[in-house]
Amino acid sequence: MNTVNQLKMEFSSRPENVAFARVAVAAFAAQLDFTLNDLEEIKVAVSEAVANAIIHGYGNSPDGIVRVGAVITDRMLEVRVEDDGRGIADVKRALQPSFSTDPDRMGLGFVFMQSFMDRVQVESAAGKGTRVIMSKVPECSGAEAAAARAGH
């Protein structure tokens, strides 16, 4: 079985949409056998990526559009968060723990994404917008865990 369920969303770069995007992606992801803890982690990762698009990508202007895509295949969730904002000149540096271009921020967004998702890829360049692609596979759970316990 290699079914694919697809979701694409686009919304205004308004801060109130961070919470919306978080619960929407979690509601979609809940179709896979994620644990509660997994879903919480996905919510944090999505919040961080969407907040970055709004705050850094669009400099808090509400006129930008944030695109969030989610794909569910048999065993995996992939989430994309994209903006057409100012982009990141040095992606490697941006990914460093506690690096931030804003002295008031903690610079831990990418660290959270990397800790909570299995894989995180960042595509960006100055003036070219940013795309964050993250994926996560449910921990051994449900039927599978039962089967594992039963020694199958």
Ligand X SMILES: Nc1ncnc2c1ncn2[C@@H]1O[C@H](COP(=O)(O)OP(=O)(O)O)[C@@H](O)[C@H]1O
- Interaction of residue 80 with ligand X, rule CB under 6 A: no
CB 32 within 8 A of CB 110: no
Residues 14-73 touching ligand X, rule: CB under 6 A, are 48, 52-53, 56-57
Residue 149 φ then ψ, to 5°: -65, -40
Judged by beta carbon, residue 43 or residue 110, the one nearer a copy of itself is 43
73 binds a copy of itself per the rule CB under 8 A: no
Tell whether residue 20 is a contact of a copy of itself (CB under 8 A): yes
Residue whose C-alpha is closest to residue 47's, from 28, 61, 26, 64: 26
Is 102 a binding residue for ligand X by CB under 6 A? The answer is: yes
Q: Are 38 and 49 in contact (CB under 8 A)?
A: no
Which residue do the tokens 């982690």 mark?
41
Could you tell me whether strands 130-136 and 119-124 are parallel, antiparallel, or unpaired per DSSP bridges?
antiparallel
Nearer to other proteins, 41 or 82 (CB): 41
Are the CB atoms for 124 and 145 separated by under 8 Å? no
For ligand X, the binding residues (CB under 6 A) are: 48, 52-53, 56-57, 83, 85-88, 94, 99-102, 105-110, 130
For a copy of itself, the binding residues (CB under 8 A) are: 3-12, 14, 16-17, 19-20, 23-24, 27-28, 31, 62
